[in-house]
Amino acid sequence: MANHILLNLKRAKYVLDKNWIGNFTQPSRFLYPHQWNWDSAFISIGYSHFNTKRAITELTSLFNAQWKNGMVPQIVFTKKNLGSYFPEPEIWQTSRSKFAPDNYLTSGISMPPIHAYAVLKIYENSLNKNKVLPFIKWIFPKLIKSHQYFYKYRCHDDFIYVIHPWESGMDNSPAWDNILENIDINKVTVPAFKRKDLSTDNAEMRPKDSDYTRYIYLVELFKKYSYQESKIFENSPFIVADTLFNSVISASNKALLKLAKILKNDSTEILEWDNRTTNAVRNKLYSEKDKIFYSYDLKNNSLLKADTAAGFMPLFGGIATEKQAETIYSYLNSTGFCSLLQGNCFTIPNYDTKKTDYDRKNYWRGPVWININWMLWEGLKRYAYIQKADDLARDIIQLPVRFGFFEYFDSFNGRGYGTKDFSWSAALFTDLCYEYYIKHKKNKLSKTRKILLNSIVLNNESSYAITDQKNISQLLLTKVKELKKEFYTDSGTINYQSLQKSKQYNEYKMITNSLRKFDLNMLNSENEKKAFWINVYNTVIVDSIVQSGIKTSVKEVIGLFSKCKYNIGNKLFSADDIEHGILRCNARHAFRKIKQFHFLNSKKKYIMKNLDVRIHFALVCGSRSCAPIKYYSSNNIDNDLEIATRNFINSSEVMVLPENNRLLVSSIFKWYKNDFGGKNGIINIILKYLNNEEKKEFLSNNRKKIKIEYLYYDWNLNK
């Protein structure tokens, strides 16, 4: 595991420790000094990996302040910090409600109920499940009660509705603009107030005063009706079926089902909730034309057409049908939201960057949020959009590593905005590091890591498919194409499990066996050789993974690249032989001191005459950070390598950040720095292929000033 991950995990822990005040964690020490509803859930997910006790205390504190009707409040105030936030208890006056808790000061609204989801994570991540069980038993009825509250008091046409932008979590989302603008603020008296969230340099990141007037207008209205739900529903202008909120409750319903199973409790009611929400969202909030889900204004019976990240959240809730998922994915993975091949942006901004009112700094109107990315990451995995999920995960990790644990980030230059040392950024960063590195290392690698001491010949069976040598390479490539069609997903990843069991793989093996009789002298031109060896490299890797039963990462087997070999024309070739020996013209492996082929090695005669650095964007080492796998033909090899290189350089593996004088690039550039010709060579190749003219100009004018940093390499399997 990269050292910088360990170092930054420590930093994340430091942020959480600093914000921990004994029984809960402040979202941030100055801007948000009390306990927040969904923040606590996200934070507890971070703790669940290294401090179960704290994760439990965090949620226990929140649920201790649960209202008598089941509502979990948006804010639980800490007496000793009163006076530093607005609005505080004297504005909320929650004692006007008969349901307010007796011994706690809280606000009078709620937030997206992600707690059941968090509780399940705490259980799943705990090393001693029996120790956690009493907490699960304690909190389960409270979680049920909190969902019952929504389905009983806050449900209309099967939608759970929110009564305040603060309840949605996305306070000043463009989705609320119309409703807020149309509020006649003279209907309820709004007292004079003084905001506490503004400092000398953050006004452009925070909501406007006119928004705050409306926020407080709504609070005054709630007070006027003593927080009675039916009165609020009748009289308030803000009654919204929020797509994010309904997706979150749906994800939590599904978590509740799992918790009920663990506790052997009845789950009929939960199932019924989940069906109601799922059907309502699927049928009424989806716009096939706009490729997104919208929130719905229940007062005016109209969709709130703002293309925000909330519109993709039905992936997180497991609500979208496969067809809907496919459609919204095509928008989620488009340039408006920083697509996979776009490059030079961090994914996903909270609002379509192409909209005229997209605002890269203003919170909830454009920047990238770690919690939203995290939920979408979970959702994308649920629907098997693995490459995109990894892309989001990478940015959840990269952004804090490069720019600090900020509240939100600029999608185009990564700059952190809002408050510093923000708790959920640290917590969810921690979660992803554990998911991608630590757990993987502890649970999977250490148990299964094998060392290959002797060579394994992968094509060593007696069955041959062909006797006509001339056709072998052609056939092999056709078969690769066939396998690709069948088992490689659109995003370039491979479904290894089904591949292994397939008829096609058996047929493919018969061809690889025929390679034993292949006469390498038949490869005449450099192009023929290049295409042949790239394809063989990509197939020997697939075969090595399949045959050594790798489950999570090529790192599970030490020696995979050097000991798994193909017999080709009676000579054994490992992936290292092909890459460093042949294609890189007998160079050194990135981590070794000597050249691949010893001076007496008979394979030296197959070495390419010239190194074509573009091979680095075509060789697929079976990991998530590699280029997507493709078939290369000798006729088109030049063009194909041009495309592969252009795709790679314009993907998120290369980021030019003028504001910071930084160039973030894939670790491939670090390992093969010499192949590229050092720092200058790296800049040259990027300049040659980069599409974005502005960034190109910056790069060429600032060669000396620019600092190159390397992105972390994800060695997890590209399955």
Active site residues: 171, 407
Among the residue ranges 34-42, 133-141, 470-478, 643-651, the one whose residues contact ligand 2M8 (CB under 6 A): 34-42
Residue 312 as a binder of ligand 2M8 (CB under 6 A): the answer is no
Strands (E), 477-600: 557-558, 564-568, 571-574
Nearest distance from C-beta of residue 206 to ligand 2M8, angstroms: 7
Nearer to ligand 2M8, 74 or 514 (CB): 74
Judged by CB under 6 A, the chain residues 2 through 31 that form the site for ligand 2M8 are 27
What is the spatial distance between Cα 38 and Cα 71, in angstroms, rounded to a whole number?
13
What is the spatial distance between Cα 540 and Cα 203, in angstroms, rounded to a whole number?
57
Nearer to ligand 2M8, 169 or 317 (CB): 169
Residue 416 as a binder of ligand 2M8 (CB under 6 A): the answer is no
Nearer to ligand 2M8, 38 or 77 (CB): 38
Nearest distance from C-beta of residue 364 to ligand 2M8, angstroms: 7
Residue 33 as a binder of ligand 2M8 (CB under 6 A): the answer is no
Residue owning tokens 């193909």: 566
Q: Judged by CB under 6 A, how many residues of this single chain contact ligand 2M8?
A: 10
Q: What are the beta bridge partners of residue 156?
A: 159
Buried b (16+ CB within 10 A) or exposed e, 443-477: ebbeeeeeebeeebebbeeeebbbeeeeebbebbb
End-to-end CA separation in angstroms for the chain: 20
- 8 A C-beta contact, residue 695 and residue 469: no
Among the residue ranges 166-174, 317-325, 438-446, 477-485, the one whose residues contact ligand 2M8 (CB under 6 A): 166-174
Buried b (16+ CB within 10 A) or exposed e, 196-235: ebeeeeeeebbbeeebbebbbbbbbbbbbbbbbbeebbee
Nearest distance from C-beta of residue 38 to ligand 2M8, angstroms: 6
What is the spatial distance between Cα 177 and Cα 169, in angstroms, rounded to a whole number?
15
Residue 561 as a binder of ligand 2M8 (CB under 6 A): the answer is no
Nearer to ligand 2M8, 169 or 318 (CB): 169
Helix H, strand E, coil C: the string for 587-600 is: CECCCCCCECCCCC
Among the residue ranges 164-172, 436-444, 469-477, 612-620, the one whose residues contact ligand 2M8 (CB under 6 A): 164-172
Classify residue 435 as exposed, middle or buried by CB count within 10 Å of its CB (0-12, 13-18, 19+).
Answer: middle
Is the backbone of residue 301 left (phi > 0), alpha (psi -120 to 50) or beta?
A: left
State whether the Cα torsion 43-48-51-52 is positive or negative. Answer: positive
Nearer to ligand 2M8, 35 or 634 (CB): 35
What is the spatial distance between Cα 121 and Cα 527, in angstroms, rounded to a whole number?
52
Identified binder of ligand 2M8 from the candidate list 46, 169, 414, 628, rule CB under 6 A: 169
Among the residue ranges 54-62, 165-173, 511-519, 641-649, the one whose residues contact ligand 2M8 (CB under 6 A): 165-173
Identified binder of ligand 2M8 from the candidate list 12, 39, 584, 649, rule CB under 6 A: 39
Query: Within a 10 A sphere around the Cβ of 188, how many other Cβ atoms?
Result: 18
Residue 311 as a binder of ligand 2M8 (CB under 6 A): the answer is no
Residue 651 as a binder of ligand 2M8 (CB under 6 A): the answer is no
Nearest distance from C-beta of residue 74 to ligand 2M8, angstroms: 6
Q: Whose CB is nearest to ligand 2M8?
A: 27
Query: Within a 10 A sphere around the Cβ of 191, how many other Cβ atoms?
Result: 7
Query: Residue 143 CA to chain centroid, in angstroms?
Result: 27
Residue 391 as a binder of ligand 2M8 (CB under 6 A): the answer is no
Strands (E), 511-659: 557-558, 564-568, 571-574, 654-657
Buried b (16+ CB within 10 A) or exposed e, 165-187: bbbbbbbbbbbbeebbeebeeee
Nearest distance from C-beta of residue 166 to ligand 2M8, angstroms: 4
Nearest distance from C-beta of residue 264 to ligand 2M8, angstroms: 34
Nearest distance from C-beta of residue 349 to ligand 2M8, angstroms: 15
| Per-residue tokens: 120 | 């399940």
Nearest distance from C-beta of residue 407 to ligand 2M8, angstroms: 7
Q: Which amino acid is at 569?
A: G
Identified binder of ligand 2M8 from the candidate list 74, 327, 425, 459, rule CB under 6 A: 74
Residue 171 as a binder of ligand 2M8 (CB under 6 A): the answer is yes
Nearer to ligand 2M8, 168 or 512 (CB): 168
Nearer to ligand 2M8, 171 or 242 (CB): 171
Helices 52-64 + 129-153 axis angle, to 10: 30
Nearer to ligand 2M8, 9 or 75 (CB): 75
Residue 537 as a binder of ligand 2M8 (CB under 6 A): the answer is no
Identified binder of ligand 2M8 from the candidate list 36, 346, 505, 631, rule CB under 6 A: 36
Residue 126 as a binder of ligand 2M8 (CB under 6 A): the answer is no
Nearer to ligand 2M8, 36 or 406 (CB): 36
Judged by CB under 6 A, the chain residues 602 through 641 that form the site for ligand 2M8 are none
Nearest distance from C-beta of residue 24 to ligand 2M8, angstroms: 12
Residue 249: name the closest of 45, 72, 75, 60 by CA. Answer: 72
The full DSSP string for 204-239 is GGS--HHHHHHHHHHHHHHHHTTT-HHHHHHH-S--
Nearest distance from C-beta of residue 200 to ligand 2M8, angstroms: 18
Among the residue ranges 35-43, 380-388, 551-559, 699-707, the one whose residues contact ligand 2M8 (CB under 6 A): 35-43
Identified binder of ligand 2M8 from the candidate list 166, 227, 518, 676, rule CB under 6 A: 166
Q: Which helix (H) or strand (E) covers residue 475, if one does?
A: helix 472-487
Nearest distance from C-beta of residue 473 to ligand 2M8, angstroms: 57
Nearer to ligand 2M8, 35 or 493 (CB): 35
What is the spatial distance between Cα 696 and Cα 212, in angstroms, rounded to a whole number?
42
- Prior bond of 348 cis (ω within 30°): yes
Residue 38 as a binder of ligand 2M8 (CB under 6 A): the answer is yes
Residue 409 as a binder of ligand 2M8 (CB under 6 A): the answer is no
H helix intervals, 20-128: 37-47, 52-64, 89-92, 115-125
The binding site for ligand 2M8 (CB under 6 A) comprises 27, 32, 36, 38-39, 74, 166, 169, 171, 197
